[in-house]
Amino acid sequence: DAGVTQSPTHLIKTRGQHVTLRCSPISGHKSVSWYQQVLGQGPQFIFQYYEKEERGRGNFPDRFSARQFPNYSSELNVNALLLGDSALYLCASSLIRVTYEQYFGPGTRLTVT
Amino acid sequence: SQQGEEDPQALSIQEGENATMNCSYKTSINNLQWYRQNSGRGLVHLILIRSNEREKHSGRLRVTLDTSKKSSSLLITASRAADTASYFCATDGETSGSRLTFGEGTQLTVNP
């Protein structure tokens, strides 16, 4: 079975631009979470979606938004990019909404110049 | 802000030696997990320990949890060069649901 997939792998954007990151969970997994990992730090929770509804949101500005589709894939959108948004964006899927083990994708490396 | 702190920040050992990493957290938890990350890539789940457990083993991994001290340790026995990676602890709590709160990580280097 395929694991969590994310696209693109790498992305370079300019300040002020908009970016969309994509994630496909493991087949059968209905919950998707997004994390931001700045270089040298641990991941920070951004969003969780379950059954296409937002179930949790971390301490991130409104420039960050996400959605989950009927096939449980998800998009993370970031508007008005700042240099500080440069990070590895990780997607994790899990079988049910409140479950313990999350499976992470390889991440999307976003560089904002 | 990060829930936990890993100690040490960096650890360098020789192949065959044991590696011990520690994690402290601040609030009550339901579970504590350890993840490995190779060179800024995705996280790999290693082991989960529930708040009512004190010790857990998986292969060469041993995890302990002391909820009174709000701390955990990860022991990797007979380390290999392939164990070189960053190791993170992550907690989920009663009020945070499945949201994971990660520590800053320990960078382990195993020299052949």
pLDDT given at position A97: 59
Rounded to whole angstroms, the maximal C-alpha distance in chain A is 38
pLDDT given at position B1: 38
Q: Are strands A74-78 and A87-94 parallel, antiparallel or unpaired?
A: unpaired
pLDDT given at position A70: 95
CB pair distance less than 8 Å for A100 and B41: no
Token readout for A43 is 């991941």
pLDDT given at position B2: 44
Q: Is the pLDDT of residue A95 over 70?
A: yes
pLDDT given at position A61: 97
Token readout for A100 is 């313990």
Q: Which residue has the higher pLDDT, A90 or B92?
A: A90
CB pair distance less than 8 Å for B48 and A56: no
Sign of CA dihedral B93, A42, A83, A35: negative
Query: How many A-B residue pairs are in contact by the CB < 8 A criterion?
Result: 73
Q: Which residue has the higher pLDDT, B111 or A99?
A: B111
Q: Is the pLDDT of residue A63 over 90?
A: yes
Residue of chain A whose alpha carbon sits nearest to that of B100: A45
CB pair distance less than 8 Å for A100 and B104: no
CB pair distance less than 8 Å for A100 and B92: yes
pLDDT given at position A98: 58
Q: Is the pLDDT of residue A32 over 80?
A: yes
The closest alpha carbon to A13, from A100, A87, A107, A93, belongs to: A87
Q: Is the pLDDT of residue A82 over 60?
A: yes
Q: What count of other Cβ atoms lies within 10 Å of the Cβ of residue B69?
A: 9
Q: CA of B85 to nearest chain A CA: how many angstroms apart?
A: 13
Rounded average pLDDT over A102-108: 94
pLDDT given at position B96: 65
Instruction: Tell whether A45 is within 8 A of chain B (Cβ).
Output: yes
Q: Which residue has the higher pLDDT, A72 or B93?
A: A72
Chain B residues whose CB is inside 8 A of the A51 CB are: none
Instruction: Tell whether A86 is within 8 A of chain B (Cβ).
Output: no
Instruction: Please identify every stretch of chain B with a pLDDT value under 70, giving residue numbers as ranges.
Output: 1-4, 94-98
Contacts of A104 (CB under 8 A, 6+ apart): A4, A90, A91, A92, B35, B42, B43, B44, B45
**Backbone φ/ψ region at B70: left (φ over 0), alpha (ψ -120 to 50), beta:** left
